[in-house]
Amino acid sequence: GQSLEQPSEVTAVEGAIVQINCTYQTSGFYGLSWYQQHDGGAPTFLSYNALDGLEETGRFSSFLSRSDSYGYLLLQELQMKDSASYFCAVRDPSSASKIIFGSGTRLSIRP
């Protein structure tokens, strides 16, 4: 099966940079995705990495190392609105519709 590990909580200061790590185990790899979820809301897609390296989208970047089965989400110039839970996810090799999520990292931002 597929499994993903992420830290349960991370705390950072407004304006700073924070990195949320994700390690995964999968029998076949089709890329690593990241989702954001605010309290009481639905998850929303942030980024996707299929190849090694860094993908940048504004203040958010995502990194992948396939040889290490590891990725991270980097949030820069943190704002209070970035307080949320962040999930990494992988596709199961058996089906494109079978997406497995990590347990999530709750990011708390202090003024």
Does residue 73 interact with another protein by CB under 8 A? no
What is the rounded CA–CA span in Å between residue 82 and residue 60? Answer: 10
Contact flag: residue 54 with another protein (CB under 8 A): no
- Given a contact cutoff of 8 angstroms between Cβ atoms, the answer to whether 74 and 62 are in contact is yes
The residue from 19, 50, 59, 93 that contacts another protein (CB under 8 A) is: 50
Q: What are the phi and psi torsion angles at 80 (to 5°)?
A: -60, -30
Instruction: Answer yes or no whether residue 87 interacts with another protein by CB under 8 A.
Output: yes
Q: Does 104 bind another protein (CB under 8 A)?
A: yes
Question: In the block, which residue shows the tokens 């690593």?
Answer: 32
The residue from 16, 17, 45, 93 that contacts another protein (CB under 8 A) is 45
Among 20, 22, 35, 78, binds another protein (CB under 8 A): 35
Would you tell me which residues interact with another protein (CB under 8 A)? 8, 30-31, 33, 35, 41-45, 48, 50, 87, 89, 91, 95-104
